[in-house]
């Protein structure tokens, strides 16, 4: 009886460990990266696959040694028929930022906004990969799901290098990158020795083994202009509409942005409000309800040239030598919205024209 019981237990263990992937316990945990600090912009551009020019910002960043937080459920996601034998570990990094539909230096580029893109390079980026030793121990066997493995144990996807580029040279001294779901590492135990990789080419960010979160980053570069928002040196502007009635709402908020420059002569400059548009027919800025991301309201953003008093829509062209003052106005108007806290993001991009 003792022999039969042990044989049965081992058999069940092998079956339960075939074709599975560990999953983060809390999707807000994982690895955390940022790209702060000082940098310079390359003087010579790189020509992208579509023929456009892109300028490298600073050095290439390495995501190795990123801050890690949280735990991983080893006994999480299973698929396929059971296999007898120890399954090898496969690794893949899925990217969750929108594609820029170009390659730079042979690498797929991903978009932050209309002027900033980045590339990712690593053995497991965009493809299933096995390192030299596929028989790794973290989350093998899957166990019974009662224990969590530390995120810090999942390092096979590193190093990953990130290179940031801009399409048009900016006049101010900030390249701002907002917090985002950058990528997610998946470790999958699939099949037996010599088996094919897992049959998945997409993966829900919240179900990856180790999400990679991009924290809000501010890269400082040499420039001819500095920015003051409502009189304070800053690269961040918050337009807070406060509390409104969800049944019928109207709110208008303004803020002043001043550019103090040291050009030797009048210089042509373009200011552009940039944001991710959805299917709103008026092409306004979408604000999502953080408690229900499917619920949205919309802000109409307008630039006003304070030197002339004229409204310029979302794009303003002018000439600057020493000073330019701009007002940004946000208008919310609508009815029958779902109650909640709504947030959205836009960029004011100032480039040489």
Within a domain: 8? no
Within a domain: 6? no
Same domain assignment for residues 33 and 108: yes
User: Residue 162 is encoded by which pair of tokens?
Assistant: 């990130």
Same domain assignment for residues 146 and 269: no
Within a domain: 7? no
Q: What is the pLDDT of residues 253-307, one digit of tens each?
A: 999 999 999 999 999 999 999 988 889 999 999 988 887 878 899 999 999 999 8
Distances (CA, A) of 333 to 244, 245, 295: 10, 11, 15
Of 193, 220, 247, the residue at which a domain comes to its end is 220
In percent, the amount of the chain with pLDDT more than 70 equals 87
Distances (CA, A) of 203 to 23, 27, 88, 159, 336: 11, 13, 19, 21, 35
Within a domain: 4? no
> Domain count of the chain?
2
Within a domain: 11? no
- Return the CATH number at 337: 2.60.40.1090
Q: Three-class SS of residue 187?
A: strand
Within a domain: 180? yes
Same domain assignment for residues 26 and 172: yes
Same domain assignment for residues 208 and 87: yes
CA nearest to 230, candidates 347, 331, 349, 326: 326
Of 220, 250, 274, the residue at which a domain comes to its end is 220
Within a domain: 193? yes
Q: What is the pLDDT of residues 21-35, one digit of tens each?
A: 999 999 999 999 888
The region, left, alpha or beta by phi > 0 then psi within -120 to 50, assigned to residue 271 is beta
The continuous run of DSSP H or E covering 333 comes out as strand 323-335
Using the predicted structure, report yes or no on whether residue 42 has a pLDDT greater than 80. Answer: yes
Residue 116: domain span: 17-220
Mean pLDDT rounded to a whole number for the chain: 85
Same domain assignment for residues 198 and 325: no
Same domain assignment for residues 47 and 140: yes
Within a domain: 196? yes
Same domain assignment for residues 109 and 242: no
Using the predicted structure, report yes or no on whether residue 15 has a pLDDT greater than 50. Answer: no
DSSP string spanning 246-290?
A: SSEEEEEEEEEEEEEE--SS-EEEEEEEE----S-TT--EEEEET
Of 181, 197, 220, the residue at which a domain comes to its end is 220
Same domain assignment for residues 214 and 331: no
Q: How far is CA 150 from the centre of its chain?
A: 23
pLDDT tier for residue 94 given thresholds of 50, 70 and 90: very high
What's the pLDDT at 35? 84
What's the pLDDT at 6? 30
The continuous run of DSSP H or E covering 77 comes out as strand 71-78
- Return the CATH number at 104: 2.60.40
What's the pLDDT at 174? 84
Same domain assignment for residues 191 and 140: yes
CA nearest to 58, candidates 180, 166, 168, 189: 166
CA nearest to 230, candidates 243, 221, 239, 218: 239
Same domain assignment for residues 30 and 143: yes
Same domain assignment for residues 187 and 281: no
Task: Tell me the pTM.
Answer: 0.81
Print burial letters for 29-61: b (CB count within 10 Å at least 16), e (below 16).
bbbbbbbeeebebeeebeebeeeeebbbbbeeb
Same domain assignment for residues 177 and 258: no
């Amino acid at each position: 009886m003792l022999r039969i019981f042990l044989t049965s237990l081992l058999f069940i263990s092998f079956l339960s460990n075939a074709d599975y992937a560990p999953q983060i316990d809390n999707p807000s945990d994982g690895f955390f990266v940022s790209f702060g600090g000082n940098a310079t912009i390359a003087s010579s551009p790189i020509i992208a696959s579509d023929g456009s020019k892109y300028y490298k910002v600073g050095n290439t960043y390495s995501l190795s040694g990123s801050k890690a937080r949280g735990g991983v459920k080893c006994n999480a996601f299973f698929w396929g028929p059971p296999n007898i034998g120890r399954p090898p570990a496969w690794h893949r990094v899925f990217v969750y930022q929108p594609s820029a539909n170009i390659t730079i230096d042979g690498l797929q580029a991903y978009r932050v906004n209309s002027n900033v893109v980045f590339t990712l390079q690593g053995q497991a980026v965009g493809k299933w990969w096995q390192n030299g030793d596929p028989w790794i121990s973290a989350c093998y066997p899957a166990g019974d799901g009662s224990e969590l493995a530390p995120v810090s144990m999942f390092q096979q996807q590193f190093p990953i290098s990130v290179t940031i580029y801009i399409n048009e040279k900016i006049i101010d001294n900030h390249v701002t990158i907002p917090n985002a779901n950058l990528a997610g590492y998946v470790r999958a135990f699939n099949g037996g020795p010599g088996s094919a990789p897992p049959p998945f080419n997409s993966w829900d960010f919240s179900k990856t083994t180790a999400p990679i979160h991009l924290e809000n980053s501010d890269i400082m570069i040499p420039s001819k202009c500095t920015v003051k928002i409502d009189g304070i040196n800053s690269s961040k502007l918050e337009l807070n509409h406060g509390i409104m009635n969800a049944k019928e709402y109207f709110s208008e908020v303004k803020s002043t942005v001043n550019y103090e420059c040291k050009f030797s002569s009048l210089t042509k400059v373009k200011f552009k409000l940039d944001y991710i548009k959805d299917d709103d027919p008026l092409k306004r800025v979408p604000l999502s309800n953080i408690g229900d991301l499917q619920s949205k309201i919309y802000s109409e953003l307008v630039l006003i040239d304070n030197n002339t008093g004229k409204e310029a829509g979302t794009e303003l062209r002018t000439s600057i030598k020493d000073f330019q003052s701009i007002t940004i106005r946000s208008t919310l108007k609508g009815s029958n919205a779902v109650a909640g806290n709504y947030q959205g993001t836009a960029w004011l991009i100032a480039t040489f024209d």
